[in-house]
Amino acid sequence: MPMKLEVGDIVDLKKQHPCGNKRFEILRTGADFRIKCLGCEKQIWLPRPVLEKRIRKVTKKEDNQS
């Protein structure tokens, strides 16, 4: 069963971005995901299976607003 990922969630990935950051914000969901690096603000498109395989931790958007 696929993970329940929503726009606004923060994900920690196994591989880091070239800028050195591992945290990304989900901007768009669907068959392809658009995520934004929280270090350099670059946006990346990834297919759902690739993103789900790379996720180490998910922080829901409700937790981020505090």
20 domain residue, yes or no: yes
How many CB atoms lie under 10 A from the CB of residue 20? 9
Question: Which pTM value belongs to this model?
Answer: 0.84
**Domain CATH for 26:** 2.30.30
Q: Which domain holds residue 22?
A: 10-58
15 domain residue, yes or no: yes
Strand partners, 23: 12
At 31-59, the pLDDT tens digits run 999 999 999 999 999 999 999 999 999 98
Ramachandran class of 41: left when φ > 0, alpha when ψ lies in -120 to 50, beta otherwise: left
* Per-residue pLDDT, 26: 96
Domain count across the chain: 1
